[in-house]
Structure 1
Amino acid sequence: MIAEKKKLRELKYTKNTKLSLIIISTLILLGLFILAMKIGSINIGVKELVVGILTNVDEAKINIIRDLRMPRVIAAILIGANLSVAGVLLQAIIRNPLADPSVTGISAGASLASVIILLFAPQLNTMRPLFGFVGGLVACTIVYSIAYKKGLSPIRIVLSGIAVNAMLAAMTSMSNMIGSNNSSAIQLWLSGSLANITWMDVRLLSIYSLIGYIGAFLLYRSCDVLVLGEKNAKSLGFNYDLQMILICLVAVFLASTATAVGGIIAFVGLVVPHICRIIIGSGHKYLIPFSITVGGILLLVADTLARSAFKPVEVPVGMVMAVIGGPVFLYLLRRSDV
């Protein structure tokens, strides 16, 4: 009965309707980008903002917005998009909406590797996303190895992820205490704060994000087949194991590079794919680009609230997302047939 309802929902949306939804979400994202640039301790008109950015006007107010607020806004969009697509890919592998970069240990592994670079090898800071990828990959491998028992059970992945996350979080805190002269700044970053984002971070994240998006788009057909299950995929002549590994690598790459720049921001990869499937359906050809825009929207709104809703105090966006995502996760866990 549930499967039939899903099929009927898929039939409601034509190709043009799905493209329209993606275009509309993109326009909403652009509008929120301009609004987020305006909101803050320094207020500026839209016309003045656009002219100032496009013409490189050397004015104190414009320079502050261009050099501080703009990279933060762009980073919020990219990090939200990366975590969302990573969630889509992970959920395709596990075939359950409970999968998320933070639940599967990827974020914790990436943050540990990033903290080690920040503390003990700051000269390699520009390569932090790549080291984060290695850390996320190791953590994900550990979680999946522990959870595997005659197949991957979603509840085993969740429980394994909780244990591995706790272990890696303790190691991260110990590293921070032992090697840091500025532990408060690193602890703030670990909480998911985008306050210290620079243009260098944005440039690096943009490159890695583009690589990850291309990889995700190239694998959208594989995601559609993996959702059918291992037996059905293999009966179609599909190399299930290879494609699962490739999709997992792309997911870990996107989530780890985002975490290495923005710290641990949980639940984005859980909430956004679930919302997007309800709106646009489960076909990954449209689900992936739609998740990019919706993920960018969600984290941009969350970060704008984090830096403006509690003035003069600014809270990390990771805390805002925990407040939003926690109840959603519990709702999905209660609904899941695990």
Structure 2
Amino acid sequence: MTNLVQKQKMNKYIVLLASVCLLIIGMILHVAVGSSAVSFTEVIKAIFAPDDSKQTTIVQTLRLPRAVLAALIGASLAVAGALMQAITRNSLASPQVFGVNAGASLAIVIAFILFPDLTSQSTVYIAFLGAALGGMTVYLFASGGKTTHVKLALAGMAVHLFLSSLTQGVIVLNEQATDVLYWLVGSINGKDWTHVKILLPWSFLGLLLAFGSSRSISILVLGENMATGLGEKVKWIRFFAGILVIMLAGASVAVAGPIGFVGLIVPHIARKLVGGDYQRILPFSALLGAILLVYADVLSRFIAYPFESPVGIVTALIGAPFFLYLARKGRNIKQ
């Protein structure tokens, strides 16, 4: 038994080391690959010994902030998805499927039409409001009678499609809103350090609080009766986790648009690699989410090379088949 435990711990350390290496390699590729190639040596020099060269300008002002933003958004969306799957005990839950992304998107599009001069900082709070309304609407429709995993999934998809249709209708009826079409696919093109500064405090705080509450989340997944018997306040845990989902997903949508499927895919991979304890699932989800979006953004540059494509296209191509696979398998989170 002792040897088995030691082997499991060793496997987790191996997964952690491999994930960190993949993230570092992905960040370097993210900075080096593009319409203007930058060598590995030039990347290192631009980061640690910057000068006035063209390569340093490209790395420092364009590619490095975009790489950092991809990692932050990937981590935030992945942890938000893991939290949603835990509090709903539904393996199909994610910020996209449960109306959070669609609600935030609709709120930002309406705000953009009503207040064209809205600052980037203000859009974060508007995204929070839209995300909260989207999530609350799903729970409202699913709460009639006994709330089941299937009802939540169906209500989530219905609300997501409804809010997305409203968003598209608003854009069609208002010519000034056509500028957000590219953003609605989910993109981090053209982002700089300003956007990193907007997202960083919300992402850092949300991730820190999520990691701090991981033990309570793990107990909640065991079942309400078990959690209550162990002294946990189930309603407060769910409420707090819901606030974290809104914070993480809302801020990400405000900066980069509704990038889908990251919150659906990554928690399943994390559970497969490190088991069902959320004290490990949440930090590993953050790490794997960062890896997924960094590499997805690198791939997005080759879809219409040398032009840029939204990263949401790549995540959708990966995530849609994965969602159909999960729906067909019909598996719930192991308890």
Q: Same fold (TM over 0.5)?
A: yes
SS in 2 for 1:21: helix
Contact 1:119 1:180 in 2 (8 A): no
1:117-132 paired onto structure 2 within 5 Å: 117-121=111-115, 122-132=117-127
- Flag structure 2 segments of 5+ consecutive residues without an equivalent: none
1:148-187 aligned within 5 A: 148-181=143-176, 183=178, 185-187=179-181
Q: Distance in 1 between matches of 2:149 and 2:41?
A: 50
Contact 1:132 1:259 in 2 (8 A): yes
**d(CA) in 2 for partners of 1:61 and 1:118?**
35
- Whether the 8 Å CA contact 2:300–2:311 is kept in 1: the answer is yes
1:240 Cα deviation after fit: 0.8
Deviation at 1:43, TM superposition (A): 0.9
Report the Cα offset of residue 140 of structure 1: 0.1
Distance 2:145 2:213 in 1: 26
Q: How does 1:191-210 map to 2 (within 5 A)?
A: 191-210=185-204
**Residue in 2 that maps onto 1:7:** none
Please list every run of 5 or more consecutive structure 1 residues that lacks an aligned counterpart in the other structure: 1-9
Shift of 1:57: 1.5
- Asked if 1 retains the 8 angstrom alpha-carbon contact of 2:109 and 2:167, the reply is yes
Match of 1:5 in 2: none
Instruction: Summarize the alignment of residues 94-105 of structure 1 with structure 2, pairs less than 5 Å apart.
Output: 94-105=88-99
1:329 corresponding residue in structure 2: 323
In the alignment, what sits opposite 1:315?
A: 309
User: Does the aligned pair in 2 maintain the 1:81–1:292 contact within 8 Å?
Assistant: yes
Pick closer, same or farther for the CA change 1:11–1:172 going to 2, 3 Å: farther
Q: CA deviation at 1:130?
A: 2.0
Q: 2:129 aligns with which of 109, 130, 134?
A: 134
Deviation at 1:333, TM superposition (A): 0.9
Distance 1:313 1:211, change over 3 A: same
SS of residue paired to 1:334: helix
Instruction: Determine if contact 1:39/1:308 at 8 Å carries over to the other structure.
Output: no
The alignment partner of 1:44 has SS state of coil
Whether 2:280 is the aligned partner of 1:291: answer: no
Amino acid at match of 1:73: A
Equivalent residues of 1:105, 1:139 under 8 A apart: yes
Distance 1:11 1:93 in 2: 28
TM-score of the pair, normalised by structure 1: 0.91
1:13-92 to 2 correspondences below 5 Å: 14-15=8-9, 17-92=11-86
Deviation at 1:96, TM superposition (A): 2.0
1:24 Cα deviation from its structure 2 partner: 2.9
CA contact (8 A) 2:80 2:263 kept: yes
Equivalent residues of 2:210, 2:244 under 8 A apart: yes
1:150 Cα deviation from its structure 2 partner: 4.2
CA 1:260–1:20: 2 relative to 1, 3 Å:
same
Q: Answer whether contact 1:147 1:156 (CA < 8 A) is retained.
A: yes
Question: Judging changes above 3 Å, is the alpha-carbon distance between structure 1 residues 12 and 130 closer, same or farther for their aligned structure 2 residues?
Answer: farther
Distance 2:265 2:7 in 1: 22
Q: Quickly say closer, same or farther: Cα 1:22–1:152, change in 2 above 3 A.
A: farther
Q: Deviations over 1:21-57 (max 9, x none)?
A: 2233122201110111111111112122211222332
Alignment CA distance shift 1:220-1:315 (3 Å): same
Contact 2:98 2:156 (8 Å CA) reproduced: yes
Larger deviation: 312-321 or 18-27?
18-27
CA displacement, residues 217-256 of structure 1 (integer Å, 9 cap, x when unaligned): 1210111111111122222232111111111111121111
Residue identity opposite 2:78 in structure 1: S
Q: Aligned to 2:262, which of 265, 268, 273?
A: 268
CA distance in 2, matches of 1:178, 1:124: 23
The equivalent residue for 2:225 is: 231
Question: Take 1:162 and 1:245, find their aligned partners in 2: how far apart are those partners?
Answer: 21
The TM-score with structure 2 as length reference comes to: 0.92
**C-alpha distance in 2 between matches for 1:236 and 1:168:** 39
Change (3 A) 1:215 1:170: same
Whether the aligned pair in 1 keeps the contact of 2:108 and 2:126 (CA below 8 Å) is: yes
Distance 1:251 1:180 in 2: 32
Cα RMSD between the aligned structures?
2.0
Aligned-partner Cα distance in 2 for 1:305–1:244: 36
Residue in structure 1 matched with residue 140 of structure 2 by the alignment = 145
State the SS of the aligned residue for 1:181: helix
Distance 1:60 1:251, change over 3 A: same
Distance across 2 between alignment mates of 1:229 and 1:11: 25
